[in-house]
Structure 1
Amino acid sequence: MGKIWVEVCLISARGLKRTSSFLKLQWFAVGWIDPENKYCTKIDASGNANPVWKTKFSTIVDPSDDETKFRDLALHVEVYSREPIFLRQSLLGSATVVLKEFFDKYDAKSDVPKPVEEVGSFQIRKRNSNKPLGFVDVSIRVSEEREEAGSSSIGMNIVELQAHKIFHSLVFCFARV
């Protein structure tokens, strides 16, 4: 198996628990497969418990680098709330999506690999807790490495992705101040 293109869309969250009854909380999420490359969604300022982000990012993974590491790859999503006045943010919880299932489905079609795409809802939990705090909706697509940067079905080419990543890194840094 050659290099694999993994496309992720952090679509939305549902049923998030509000920690403040006075303020309309703002919500954002941070997602990553490689902790060196994290992606931040835009901030949903609607104040309701069902924020919508539709943030997309892509990465290439190489199964030949380290088979054990490859099989343990996962998508990590952390959901944060932010107060609109003081801009204090706090981690609501996180969700982890093990990618092995997606890679296995992609590899099962080994003669002529066809893309595997699924949309799912994953429970958001605090670390070391079984109490669900809502759901995050994610789309994951696994396909062969792209030859053309603009051929992504999710609709972002590499230049857009880099600009998107830089912009949202700045937003995330601003939100942390």
Structure 2
Amino acid sequence: MASRHEVQVTISSAKHLKNVNWRHGDIRPYAVVWVDPSNKFTTRVDEHGDTSPHWDERLVIQLTAPVDESTLHIDIVHANAEVDTKPLIGSARLLLSQVFDNVGFNETLDKTLKLRRPSGRPQGKLEVKVVLTEHRYHVPEPHYAPPYGVPPPQPVYGYPYSAPSPPPPHAGVTRRTTTTVHHEDGKKNKLGLGAGLAVGAAAGLLGGLAISDLED
């Protein structure tokens, strides 16, 4: 499982380097930086600095182990070495636990590292800046992610959704009423709109017949 931390390394400059290319001229140094040997990073080559190069280059390395188990390794190498020239100029290392003990997280540690030749003899110094950072993960709000295969909810534009308003009443339409007819047995019978209209139609018909008889 990957660590939640990373290290930011700025390779600033070096001085008093060994000229491993003395047979052919100046050296062209660059830095190789790693914590995990299977994942190495390099700076650009300083073509003109010779034994006192400047890079001022920042590299960001994701840690694969806890900070107190991680070590920063830096090799200074001569680029495009001739066949008879060994390209390794010097090496340095720094325990990241020392960085944490000195400044903790998100603070810069300026450090001068001693470079050592492959034989172990010290020669040269390397200026670096090291920052340990801790990732801050955002905890998502629960119950918002839809299940797989379900499209996400569409955004709502304008006003929020609300219950639809009832349709406006149409002209000429009479609301339904209830007519109560009293019978001789004292019971009430509720008639709906249809029955009321039928009674009215019958009364109109009888009235029409009576008027017709009078006209005849």
Counterpart of 2:34 in structure 1 is 32
**1:82 offset after TM fit, Å?**
3.3
State the alpha-carbon separation in 2 of the partners of residues 88 and 146 from structure 1.
46
Counterpart of 1:117 in structure 2 is 108
State the alpha-carbon separation in 1 of the partners of residues 80 and 103 from structure 2.
41
* Correspondent of 1:132 among 96, 115, 122: 122
After superposition, what is the alpha-carbon deviation per residue over 1:41-80, rounded to whole angstroms, capped at 9, x for unaligned?
1111115311111221113336xx6x5xx42311100011
RMSD (Å) for aligned C-alpha atoms: 2.9
State the alpha-carbon separation in 2 of the partners of residues 51 and 146 from structure 1.
36
- Asked if 1 retains the 8 angstrom alpha-carbon contact of 2:33 and 2:75, the reply is yes
- Asked if 2 retains the 8 angstrom alpha-carbon contact of 1:76 and 1:97, the reply is yes
**Normalised TM-score (structure 2):** 0.54
Q: Does 1:52 align with 2:42?
A: no
- Asked if 2 retains the 8 angstrom alpha-carbon contact of 1:27 and 1:81, the reply is yes
- Asked if 2 retains the 8 angstrom alpha-carbon contact of 1:18 and 1:49, the reply is yes
- Asked if 1 retains the 8 angstrom alpha-carbon contact of 2:103 and 2:109, the reply is no
- Asked if 1 retains the 8 angstrom alpha-carbon contact of 2:74 and 2:91, the reply is yes
Gaps of 5+ in 1: 108-113, 149-177
CA separation of 1:87 and 1:56: change in aligned 2, threshold 3 A:
farther
**1:147 offset after TM fit, Å?**
6.0
Q: Does 1:90 align with 2:87?
A: yes
Gaps of 5+ in 2: 139-216
Percent identical pairs in the alignment equals 24
Q: Does 1:101 align with 2:98?
A: yes
Counterpart of 1:23 in structure 2 is 25
**More displaced, 23-32 or 87-96?**
87-96
AA aligned to 2:63 is V
CA separation of 1:84 and 1:125: change in aligned 2, threshold 3 A:
closer
Counterpart of 1:75 in structure 2 is 72
State the alpha-carbon separation in 1 of the partners of residues 52 and 83 from structure 2.
22
Highest RCO, 1 vs 2 (Cα 8 Å, sep ≥ 6): 1
| Matched residues, number | 135
Larger Rg: 2
**1:106 offset after TM fit, Å?**
5.4
**Normalised TM-score (structure 1):** 0.64
- Asked if 2 retains the 8 angstrom alpha-carbon contact of 1:24 and 1:83, the reply is no
- Asked if 1 retains the 8 angstrom alpha-carbon contact of 2:77 and 2:90, the reply is yes
After superposition, what is the alpha-carbon deviation per residue over 1:95-131, rounded to whole angstroms, capped at 9, x for unaligned?
0111111223455xxxxxx5221111101102452x2
CA separation of 1:134 and 1:106: change in aligned 2, threshold 3 A:
closer
